[in-house]
């Protein structure tokens, strides 16, 4: 029997927060330094060996639909493995589903972003109901009566997985169901209808009949949905149980067999006179529910950034322990180039995601303009770059990275969902065009932020000039170039943030490669003169002994 040698030790346990220098710097820079102790504690919990094992178990045992009970009665319940519930208890216990709303303070959205960034590295499927509950709060507040009833349980931190009426539970989670099979992103084609049934005012009951092609996290206690009334598309809260405690008429036809995100359920459903209550003005449902999507789009950028970090951590850890041709992989010049380039991409994603999160902590007009334009741009670019990065990280490990005992196959399958969910790439880029077109000050506000940093780097100065030309009215009229605009907007902001805040070696490398004329292609194309070792040292994880 041969001895096993030249294999890296498992990267566990380790603290996801204290080992991540870019994350710690972003949290302090973006005004959430008060949260450092609790984030360090959460990082230790998530990086514990037992928690890492929960992530694997939840994905190896996906949810199951229990459509009927043993007597033949409709049940429409989704059952999860205990590992899923354990991860959810950690996330809810840390307030990742609602803490900025339950305890608002400067930096609250940034602190919560740091927690979810770490959560997704261990179990990304649990992020879905956490993100939707977080995004639901501003939408719920369009109906004061519903908000008074539901928000105390949404703000609670005692995770309660029971399949019982919401009022009997210690804490509630919310999901969402917008798209239908005939329309997808074209929400105005929705055919699900709602008819007034009883009551008056904000708590007026409606009966909803129709279908949803995707209902995200169907085990949640209630869902924000769109349905047509006589006045047009309207937003509704549709609970799993009616006020009298009966099962609501939500029929789960099947759970989707997805590429990734397998620990989380997504369902195809029908409604048969299901009980629902309206949120906001009838006919204004799309902009009302899109408010929720704005926050979940932020979470797509944060989630992809977290997955990128975990992919890079695994690759760097492997390269620091594996030897080939008489040297550690990390010391092989070409491998050093590849790894440093992956670190560069991840640090840029983190910088932009957390700068964007800070805009959600601010209420002034400038911050609102920033998040209106940058949220779709950041979601588009970060989520597009993530799958290629995960693939490259997998290749660093070779065959070890391609087997399911490694986390990288799961990360690779997970990456596309953040790009597709809450609006695909084209939808995001057209949203950037619309936002800039409708908000005359938006372009100048973002250009000003880039120009402030551009004085320190001539390449960013030139790039800012190109971006400015893309923001003229004739250029904005050409929808075919919307992706190029969103890309350049994201790259310019990432470069500006790194020039201001990152070590010179990292900022110089980013401007040299990402702002060059040919900025696509493979990773590992850093030019001569880049201090790759300095970049790489920032990303090195440290496992506890």
pLDDT tens for 7-33 read 999 999 999 999 999 999 999 999 999
Q: What is the CATH number of domain 288-537?
A: 1.20.140.10
Q: Closest Cα to residue 410, out of 117, 19, 57, 85?
A: 57
- Strands 222-229 and 174-177, sheet pairing: parallel
Rounded Cα–Cα distance for residues 230 and 223 (Å): 21
Residue of 2 and 495 predicted with greater confidence: 495
pLDDT at 516: 84
Rounded Cα–Cα distance for residues 218 and 268 (Å): 9
Q: How many CA atoms lie within 13 A of 442 on its CB side?
A: 21
Name the residue with tokens 């893309």: 470
Using CA atoms in the order 514, 21, 127, 483, what is the torsion angle rounded to 10 degrees?
Answer: -10
State residue 412 phi and psi, 5-degree precision: -60, -45
pLDDT tens for 372-382 read 999 999 999 99
pLDDT tens for 429-475 read 999 999 999 887 888 889 999 998 999 999 999 999 999 988 887 77
pLDDT tens for 499-520 read 999 999 999 999 999 998 765 5
pLDDT band, residue 115 (cuts 50/70/90): very high
Q: Are the CB atoms for 48 and 28 separated by under 8 Å?
A: no
Q: Give me the mean pLDDT over the 479-506 stretch.
A: 96
Q: Give me the mean pLDDT over the 471-498 stretch.
A: 93
Strands of 240-368, DSSP E: 250-255, 266-279, 323-324, 327-328
pLDDT at 545: 40
pLDDT at 518: 64
Check residue 88 and give left, alpha or beta (phi > 0: left; psi -120 to 50: alpha): alpha
Q: Are the CB atoms for 121 and 310 separated by under 8 Å?
A: yes
Q: Are the CB atoms for 236 and 207 separated by under 8 Å?
A: no
pLDDT band, residue 521 (cuts 50/70/90): confident
Residue 2 burial class via C-beta count within 10 angstroms: exposed 0-12, middle 13-18, buried 19 and up: exposed
Q: How does DSSP assign 444-491, residue by residue?
A: HHHHHHHHHHHTT-HHHHHHHHHHHHHTSHHHHT-GGGHHHHHHHHHH
Q: H-helix or E-strand containing 212?
A: strand 205-216
Q: Closest Cα to residue 81, out of 125, 17, 47?
A: 125
CA distances from 168 to 53, 115, 150 (A): 31, 28, 12
CA distances from 319 to 25, 323, 394, 526 (A): 25, 8, 12, 18
pLDDT band, residue 1 (cuts 50/70/90): confident
Q: Closest Cα to residue 380, out of 497, 297, 289?
A: 297
Selected from 2.60.120.260, 2.40.110.20, 3.30.230.10, 3.40.720.10, the CATH number assigned to the domain covering 173-284 reads 2.40.110.20
Q: b/e per residue, 239-257, with b = 16+ CB within 10 A?
A: bbbeeeeebbbbbbeebee
Percent of the chain with pLDDT over 70: 98
- Is the pLDDT at 117 greater than 90? The verdict is yes
Rounded Cα–Cα distance for residues 129 and 97 (Å): 8
Q: Closest Cα to residue 458, out of 497, 514, 503, 512?
A: 512
pLDDT at 538: 92
Q: H-helix or E-strand containing 107?
A: none
Domain boundaries, the chain: 21-155, 173-284, 288-537
Q: Are the CB atoms for 510 and 345 separated by under 8 Å?
A: no
Name the residue with tokens 């938006």: 442
Rounded Cα–Cα distance for residues 492 and 72 (Å): 59
Q: Give me the mean pLDDT over the 43-48 stretch.
A: 98
pLDDT tens for 143-199 read 999 999 999 999 999 999 999 999 999 999 999 998 898 867 777 788 999 999 977
Rounded Cα–Cα distance for residues 261 and 418 (Å): 10
Cα 97 off chain centre by: 12
First to last CA, the chain: 28
Cα 278 off chain centre by: 27
pLDDT tens for 277-289 read 999 999 999 999 9
Where are the alpha helices (H) located in 214-284, listed in sequence order? Answer: none
Q: Give me the mean pLDDT over the 203-220 stretch.
A: 93
- Mean pLDDT, the chain, integer: 94
Across the chain, how many H-helices and E-strands are there? 19, 11
């Amino acid at each position: 029997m041969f001895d096993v040698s030249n294999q890296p030790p498992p990267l566990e346990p380790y603290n996801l927060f204290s080992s991540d220098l870019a994350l710690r710097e972003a949290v302090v820079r973006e005004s959430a330094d008060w949260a450092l102790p609790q984030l360090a504690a959460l990082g230790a919990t998530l990086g514990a060996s037992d928690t890492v094992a929960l992530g694997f178990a939840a994905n190896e045992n996906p949810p199951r639909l229990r459509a009927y009970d043993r007597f033949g009665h409709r049940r429409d319940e989704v059952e999860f493995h205990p590992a899923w519930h354990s991860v959810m208890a950690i996330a809810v216990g840390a307030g990742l589903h609602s803490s900025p709303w339950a305890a608002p303070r400067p930096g609250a959205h940034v602190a919560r972003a740091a927690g979810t960034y770490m959560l997704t590295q261990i179990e990304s499927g649990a992020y879905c109901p956490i993100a939707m509950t977080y995004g639901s709060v501003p939408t719920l507040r369009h109906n004061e009566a519903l908000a008074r009833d539901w928000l105390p349980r949404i703000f609670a931190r005692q995770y309660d997985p029971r399949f019982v009426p919401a009022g009997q539970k210690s804490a509630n989670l919310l999901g969402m169901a917008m798209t239908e099979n005939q329309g997808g992103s074209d929400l105005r084609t929705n055919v699900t209808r709602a008819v007034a049934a009883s009551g008056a005012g904000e708590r007026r009951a409606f009966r909803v009949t129709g279908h949803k092609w995707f209902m995200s996290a169907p085990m949640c206690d209630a869902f924000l949905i769109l349905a047509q009334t006589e006045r047009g598309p309207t937003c509704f809260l549709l609970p799993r149980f009616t006020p009298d405690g009966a099962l609501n008429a939500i029929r789960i036809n099947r759970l989707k067999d997805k590429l990734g995100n397998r620990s989380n359920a997504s369902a195809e459903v029908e409604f048969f006179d299901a009980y629902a209550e309206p949120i906001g003005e009838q006919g204004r449902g799309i902009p009302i529910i899109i408010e929720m999507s704005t926050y979940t789009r932020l979470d797509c950028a944060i989630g992809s950034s977290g997955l990128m970090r975990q992919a890079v951590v695994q690759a760097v850890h492997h390269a620091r322990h594996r030897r080939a041709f008489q040297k550690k992989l990390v010391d092989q010049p070409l491998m050093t180039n590849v790894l440093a380039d992956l670190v560069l991409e991840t640090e840029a994603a983190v910088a932009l995601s957390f700068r964007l999160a800070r805009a959600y902590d601010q209420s002034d007009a400038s911050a609102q303009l920033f998040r209106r334009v940058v949220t779709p741009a950041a979601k588009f670019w970060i989520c597009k770059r993530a799958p290629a990065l995960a693939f490259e990280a997998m290749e660093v490990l070779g065959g070890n990275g391609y087997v399911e005992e490694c986390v990288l196959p799961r990360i690779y399958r997970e990456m596309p969902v953040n790009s597709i969910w809450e609006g695909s790439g084209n939808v995001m880029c057209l949203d950037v065009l619309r936002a800039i077109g409708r908000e005359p000050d938006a372009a100048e506000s973002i250009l000003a932020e880039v120009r402030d940093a551009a004085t320190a780097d001539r390449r960013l100065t030139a790039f800012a000039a190109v971006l400015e030309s893309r923001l003229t009215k004739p250029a904005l009229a050409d929808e075919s170039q919307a992706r190029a605009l969103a890309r350049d907007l994201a790259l310019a902001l990432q470069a500006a943030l790194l020039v201001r805040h990152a070590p010179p070696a990292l900022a110089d490398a980013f401007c040299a490669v990402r702002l060059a004329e040919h900025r696509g292609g493979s990773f590992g194309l850093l030019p001569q003169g880049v201090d790759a070792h300095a970049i790489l040292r920032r990303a090195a994880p440290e496992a506890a002994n």
